[in-house]
A = this chain, B = another copy of it.
Amino acid sequence: MAYYKDLREHIDVLEADGKLVRIKREINKDTELMPLVRWQLRGLPEEERKAFLFSNVVDAKGKRYDIPVLVASHAASKAVYALGMMCPEDKIVEKWTDAQLHPVPPRIVADGPVHEEVHRGEHLLEHGGLEEFPVPISTPGFDNAPYLTCANWITKDPDTGIRNMGNYRAMLKSPTRTGLSAHVPKHLRAHWEKCRKRGKPLPAAIVIGAMPAIGFTAATRLLGGIDELAVAGGIAGEPVELVKCKTVDIEVPATAEIVIEGEVPTDYMEREAPFGEFTGYMGRESLAMCFNVTCITHRKNPIYNAFISQFCPSESSKLQVIGNEAALYKFLRYDCGLPVLDVAFPDICASNRAYCVIKMKKENPLQAWQALHNAVGIDPSRKFVIAVDDDIDPRDFESVTWAMAYRVQPHRDVRTVEQLRVTLDPSVTPPSEGEGHAAPGAPSGSALLIDATRKWDYPPVSLPRKEFMERARQIWEEEGLPALNPRQPWYGYSLGYWTEENDEEAELAIRGEYKQTGEKLARQRIQM
């Protein structure tokens, strides 16, 4: 099957694969919708999490919407993400790496379904402007407005014309105005600064509801200056088709559900937030850009698409974990040339940005430190970066903990790196001081780099040798004991250090001849 040409094909596949929950009862988008989807993140194991499609949505005032809301379609779980990538779960990193190494530039086409309905000029408000769409409140009780969450913003560098697509939230402020939270060092913010110097607004378009590769690339911190739409083409295996916007000089995916065109003024800013953040705390208000709508286009019977983000794990964190793992792996392995085998950001409580585990088969002692310093060098938002050996599973917290416990001496193997930029981290300064986003010159944080690789050969892992565990498993199954789900490691293996005498004594023991060893040790007795 060719790659999804739009969100609708994607929904059909989610449903056919049992990954879609349809909610047909009336749901209040302001107080009920996101809490319902939130429950699967706080109460179900990952493999049971699905996308949710709400077809009967009302708001706090009782207004009824014709437009359905789709949540968590990109990344309710890794399995849902894999469906969006059209590959098995264990091929995601490979497909991501390949798409970055071999991007496919998009193609401009004359027209597309996203222009089936156009609201502009004096007709801009004929369906209510932004109020046409059932935008949910993400964290009812704390958020100060509904926010667009799956808003994929496209802008162009005013100097070079090079496009950027990024996922940034947008606070609803009126039917034709939103906030825009994109702070330094985001590309959109760099485009805005350039326009500001020219005394011009920044043209922009928001894409909502598209083939999943759009959301995947927009939500990922791609390293270097790659065009996200070309990487999306790399994932799709064919160019993404774009149409020109009606009121701004920007191209958008032709089959998107909804596109909002407009301008980001550069002569003023407004306060934005509080909004729930990935850190597990409400993000503080800060001075942010605005966006004034000039045109809304959408397909007939459009579908509104939202991410569920905030407290990790979330759809946002799953998206970032998978994309960022692939991006950092590609950087360390291909750009830095280090023997890195895997990179993991554990997707648990708030850890998807704070923690990073790098699995490697180091060829010399320096390489662990090279990997650690490169990882914070390319992205200073990391806080705990841990290098582990190739027998450790970086996605299994127990396995990483094992490496930390007895392959690390803190005074030798732990380094603190100061002056890192840690945005939205409430441990940097009290919330009453300064903004939520670290501005240049604002107080910064620090990171801990931990070399949890072995510094020399170790004795074997203290589990029975493989053949004894295999034989025992056979007995286990013959006895009808409960089904096993083996955890690594499940047998003892060599880590380089073991003497011939150790081996001889172990062999004597399993032959029932331990007394020979006892006699030898008596002969070697030390008088005190």
Digitize A260-296: 1 where CB-to-B-CB distance is under 8 Å, 0 elsewhere. 0000001111111010111111111101000000000
Contacts of A40 in B (CB 8 A): 481
A142 touches B416 (CB 8 A): no
B60 touches A511 (CB 8 A): yes
Does A36 sit within 8 A of B, measured CB to CB? yes
B471 touches A32 (CB 8 A): yes
A401 touches B349 (CB 8 A): yes
Does A146 sit within 8 A of B, measured CB to CB? yes
Q: A346 CA to B398 CA in the complex, in Å?
A: 10
A146 touches B405 (CB 8 A): no
A282 touches B460 (CB 8 A): yes
Given A348-B401, A406-B350, A465-B141, CB of A30 within 8 Å of CB of B512 = yes
Contacts of A511 in B (CB 8 A): 60-61
Digitize A153-185: 1 where CB-to-B-CB distance is under 8 Å, 0 elsewhere. 000000000000000000111100101000000
A279 touches B512 (CB 8 A): no
Contacts of A412 in B (CB 8 A): 446
Q: A348 CA to B38 CA in the complex, in Å?
A: 28
Q: A433 CA to B383 CA in the complex, in Å?
A: 35
> Which one of A6-14, A230-238, A320-328, A422-430 is at the B interface?
A422-430
Digitize A50-72: 1 where CB-to-B-CB distance is under 8 Å, 0 elsewhere. 00000000011101000000000
Q: Which size class do A's interface residues fall under? A: 35 or more
> Which one of A96-104, A249-257, A361-369, A490-498 is at the B interface?
A490-498
Within 8 A of B (CB), among A137-154: 137, 139-146
A410 touches B354 (CB 8 A): no
Contacts of A490 in B (CB 8 A): 39, 42-43
Does A248 sit within 8 A of B, measured CB to CB? no
Chain B residue nearest in CB terms to A267: B528
- What is the minimal beta-carbon distance from A513 to any residue of chain B, in angstroms? 8
Q: A409 CA to B430 CA in the complex, in Å?
A: 13
Chain B residue nearest in CB terms to A476: B39
- What is the minimal beta-carbon distance from A20 to any residue of chain B, in angstroms? 13
Copies of this protein in the complex: 2
Contacts of A276 in B (CB 8 A): 462-463, 492
Q: A95 CA to B271 CA in the complex, in Å?
A: 55
Partner of A354, one of B59, B404, B465: B404
- What is the minimal beta-carbon distance from A350 to any residue of chain B, in angstroms? 4
Does A224 sit within 8 A of B, measured CB to CB? no
A384 touches B402 (CB 8 A): no
- What is the minimal beta-carbon distance from A192 to any residue of chain B, in angstroms? 10
A280 touches B39 (CB 8 A): no
Digitize A427-459: 1 where CB-to-B-CB distance is under 8 Å, 0 elsewhere. 110111000000000000111100000111111
Contacts of A145 in B (CB 8 A): 505, 509, 514, 517-518
Residues in chain A within 8 A of chain B (CB atoms): 21, 23, 25, 27, 30-32, 34-36, 38-40, 42-44, 48, 59-61, 63, 137, 139-146, 171-174, 177, 179, 196, 266-272, 274, 276-285, 287, 310-311, 346, 348-351, 354-355, 383-384, 397-399, 401-402, 404-414, 416, 418, 425-428, 430-432, 445-448, 454-465, 467-469, 471-473, 475-476, 479, 481-482, 484-487, 489-490, 492, 495, 497-498, 502, 505-506, 508-512, 514-515, 517-519, 521-522, 524-528
Query: Can you spell out 18 A-B residue pairs with CB atoms less than 8 angstroms apart?
Result: A35-B472, A42-B487, A60-B511, A63-B512, A141-B467, A143-B506, A174-B518, A179-B521, A271-B524, A279-B405, A280-B462, A346-B401, A348-B402, A351-B402, A354-B405, A383-B410, A397-B397, A410-B447
Question: 18 more A-B contacts (CB under 8 A) besides A281-B460, A310-B462?
Answer: A25-B475, A36-B472, A48-B482, A60-B510, A141-B467, A141-B510, A142-B462, A171-B518, A172-B514, A268-B527, A268-B528, A270-B524, A282-B498, A354-B405, A397-B397, A409-B427, A411-B446, A431-B457
3 nearest A-B residue pairs (beta carbon): A141-B465, A173-B518, A276-B462
